Amino acid sequence: MQDQIHTLELFPVINQKLLELLNSLTPEDFHKPTQFPSWKVKDICAHLLDTSIRRLSSGRDHYHAPEQPQLANYEQLLDYVTRLADSWALAFSAVSPEILIELTGKYQNELVDYLASLEPFERAAVPVSWAGETVSFNWFDIAREYTERWHHQMQIREALGREPLYERKLYTPVLDTFLRALPYHYRDWRMAEGYVLCVTIEGAAGGQWFLEWHDQLELKSKSDRDPQTTVSIQQEDAWKIFTRWTDKSVYKATIHGNQELGQHLLQLNCLLIRNSTAA
């Protein structure tokens, strides 16, 4: 499945929703806890600002820190990114919500302008590593960026009991982007030729994704074969599972067929940060 996921036009929508949300918060709301072990609502806001500024600095302004860490493997990369995110949240702990909101509005809009300047099918500066790619197109990296902004805003909304972002036009691209990682996620599984795993996300924004075993694993939106294993997950649970927002045992998946194969889906991790106590 190589079809482009169009997300660029959705950034202004969720950006506006984020500003409306933040401007509606009380000072106490910013300090309410979240599912992160040590982050409160304000820390997630700071992280969103952090990613906008760092992306603009490296991509648009071509600035890179003089001293770059030497990372030997993916685990070291995860640790580095997590430390970087924590240090930014700590640095902004003394910054007022008013300034945080102002900076968020400015730099998230500048980020949209920068992303719009990229050619969709040119090579992205950074590959989507959680999907197993060493080279990615810009459109996929932009879709990954969209999932970051959608799911972090959802984390804030969940912590505050605010309305979720489950509109189909906003959520379906998130699910589609996450599930592009399925071939990489199941790369070590050896199944019979033509074996089909069907992943169904239940809900208004959901759909079906089919993973087929051939010489290479193929991800499809439709299949002319009957699936031997099916996994069904509610849309309210799917994003939390794929971003490890909490312990996966809290959420339920209905599996028919190969139980181990189906359970492996719950290990899918579509982010580059250690953000919870989930295994």
pLDDT in tens, 176-198: 999 999 999 999 999 999 999 99
- Separation between Cα atoms, residue 226 and residue 164, nearest integer Å: 34
Looking at the chain, which residues constitute the CATH 1.20.120.450 domain(s)? 8-165
CA-angle at 19, arms to 14 and 24, nearest 5°? 125
- Separation between Cα atoms, residue 117 and residue 111, nearest integer Å: 10
Partnered with residue 137 across adjacent β-strands are: 123
Mean pLDDT of the chain: 92
pLDDT in tens, 73-98: 767 777 777 788 888 888 999 999 99
Who's near 109: CB < 8 A, 6+ residues apart? Answer: 12, 15
- The predicted structure's pLDDT at residue 262: 97
Average pLDDT over residues 241-258: 84
- The predicted structure's pLDDT at residue 179: 98
- Separation between Cα atoms, residue 13 and residue 205, nearest integer Å: 17
- Separation between Cα atoms, residue 14 and residue 235, nearest integer Å: 18
- Separation between Cα atoms, residue 54 and residue 61, nearest integer Å: 10
Average pLDDT over residues 248-264: 89
- The predicted structure's pLDDT at residue 249: 62
Q: How confident is the model at residue 278 (pLDDT cuts 50, 70, 90)?
A: very low
In CATH, which of 2.10.60.10, 3.30.530.20, 1.20.120.450, 3.40.640.10 is domain 8-165?
Answer: 1.20.120.450
- Separation between Cα atoms, residue 190 and residue 194, nearest integer Å: 11
Residue 68: pLDDT over 90: no
Looking at the chain, which residues constitute the CATH 3.30.1050.10 domain(s)? 181-267
Q: How confident is the model at residue 55 (pLDDT cuts 50, 70, 90)?
A: very high
- The predicted structure's pLDDT at residue 276: 42
Residue 247: pLDDT over 90: no
Residue 279: pLDDT over 50: no
- The predicted structure's pLDDT at residue 65: 82
Plot region of 109 (φ>0 → left; ψ -120 to 50 → alpha; else → beta): alpha
Backbone angles phi, psi at 198, to 5 degrees: -110, 125
- Separation between Cα atoms, residue 263 and residue 274, nearest integer Å: 21
- The predicted structure's pLDDT at residue 1: 61
69-73, 95-99, 249-253, range with greatest mean pLDDT? 95-99
- The predicted structure's pLDDT at residue 229: 98
pLDDT in tens, 199-213: 999 999 999 999 999
- Separation between Cα atoms, residue 64 and residue 60, nearest integer Å: 11
* pTM recorded for the entire structure: 0.93
Average pLDDT over residues 212-224: 96
Q: Which CATH class is domain 181-267?
A: alpha beta
